[in-house]
Structure 1
Amino acid sequence: MGNPEGWQAVTLDTKYHVAVLMGGWANERPVSLMSGEGVAKALEARGHTVTRIDMDRTVAAKIAEAAPDVVFNALHGVPGEDGTVQGMLDLMGVPYTHSGLATSVIAIDKELTKQQLVPRGIPMPGGRIVKSEELYEKDPLPRPYVLKPVNEGSSVGVAIVTDESNYGNPIRPDAKGPWQEFRQLLAEPFIRGRELTTAVIDGPDGPRALTVTELVPKSGFYDFDAKYTDGMTEHVCPADLPEEITALCLDLAVRAHKALGCKGTSRTDFRWDDENGVDGLFVLETNTQPGMTPLSLVPEQARHCGMSYEDLVEAIVAEALRTHANGGGNGTDQA
């Protein structure tokens, strides 16, 4: 696909002190540590001073002691992706990468995301919130359907319930699944077809979508293990798709990014029922803190568009500094 039309990577002429915030206590801690270390090494390679901070309850004191010019938020999941860290950094007056408080609160919550995107004409699966104990009485939707936590990322706790699944009918309380871990779940119709994703990166001229990747798990579906275990998923980048589907993915990813008020970078995931053409494409979610590991999709798409990992990291930092200098909060201006 080459570079997006008019795209120009923004790198930093000035050398900064960057605190890379990573780790934490969410399910995605190991992924965050890999993302953070990759970012830290990239910034050091470009001559910036880097302080690595492993998120814990004393994080505010650690950041205050480091006194960085900007924080690179490499956290995934709660509390780095749900607005908690963003609110803390807003109070401290420290510039930081990625989306801000309002956007983070909305985007991590799958139901709130639907309320923000669907009225703007962005197609998403239907469904409803159910209490986990309801599943032991009857199915909330006709099978097959998908159950997922309302506010987790990286496909943590996702279950596909089919007539053939060994969860029982209705689901047994002793069957292993997200109903044992979460009080509430989002139930959505299962959409057959292909798993697609598109990254968006902000620049001085606004957000640009990079390309479309198809994710082909070697077995099962694209769950947490498939995402972060080398060799378990094939990334087809760029995806072999009809031109109108590629164009629609790029358009919807930018529209979701803007509607949610994302900053820096985001990644929008799709499910495409290829038997139904453009009517078969649905947005599943928009990730405001996409991974930056060696297996992660945003760096891979950036490389395809001629942007090195170091360029990508600097572009994200440059956007954080630009947003802060303009007096705008990260992602509080949904439109």
Structure 2
Amino acid sequence: MATIYQVAERAGVSLSTVSRVLNGKTTVNKALKAKVEQAMRELNYRPNSVARSLATNRSDSIGVLVSELNTPFFGDLMQAIESTLRNADKHVIITVGHNNLETEKDAVEFLISRNCDALIMHVEAMPDAYLKEVNDTRLPISVVNRQVEGLENSCISLDNEMGGYLATQHLISLGHKDIAYISGPSDKRDANQRLAGHRRALEEAGLPVNPALIYEGHYNEDDGKLGLLELLSQDIPFSALVCANDWMASGAMSCARDLGMSLPHDLSVVGFDDAVFAHHIFPRLTTVSNPIYQMGEMASRFILNNVYNHSLSLRPVFEPQLILRESTMRFEG
């Protein structure tokens, strides 16, 4: 295995010059840097990560804490983070919080113990004060899909309230007045924000917000099925349904077909997230975009800028868009 001494000898430079190149110093003459890099390639030299970490006080590793692993939503988020950071010669260590406060705190301690330089987090149970404490006293953080007071510059988020508004307002524009809603769990901020948008759209249109037409789910496909059955059991007619994510919309549509409904003639359905399967189910699902991949990229860029002195463009807040497909139609009475 080649050593730094052999690289210096092959390149015809001092050990300190090779060290400055390895540590990414910008003061190295371009010609000398090119010689060192050429020597490294010829010798197949691989820097000792432990030694470089001691020299730079950086591990080039970023901890990633997400709520779950078993959905396309978090798959897209992690793929974006890993790809963006890998392109910058950084690596990720991933762990899961399962929406449980103690598990999330344990995960943070684990990532810190692995000498991560920073953390990117999508967490639900962790209070704002704890996030601010970690950022102020432990490690720099970036928070995805959430706004934290005092950490506004560190947060990458979606306007979930506007997304909920767009979904319901679309149905109202098609003439629907009796609109049911299957929400996410009430302990999740994004679920509450989407429901608030639904309520705002109804109120602006002068339509009543009927609690009997709101069912609380947990973002699972089965919640869409159970939710639709529960809403129908109220014996209150409705012509349209908004679901707070695409999984629940898919479950509700499957249940509706099992009950003999023709979609969207008997029931118009709108989802949220624009998951990969949304344009494969029948009818193709009208939904609201949730650009989680792009949000993961932005969280990674924030860390690269603030920890590793990059100068990448940032977009902290994303606006949702309505994606029109075939699961909704004009109300025909």
* TM-score class normalised by the smaller sequence: 0.3 to 0.5
How high is the TM-score relative to the length of structure 1? Answer: 0.35
The structure with the largest strand share of the pair is 1
Q: Which has the higher Rg, Structure 1 or Structure 2?
A: 2
The structure with the largest helix share of the pair is 2
Higher relative contact order (CA 8 A, sep 6+): 1
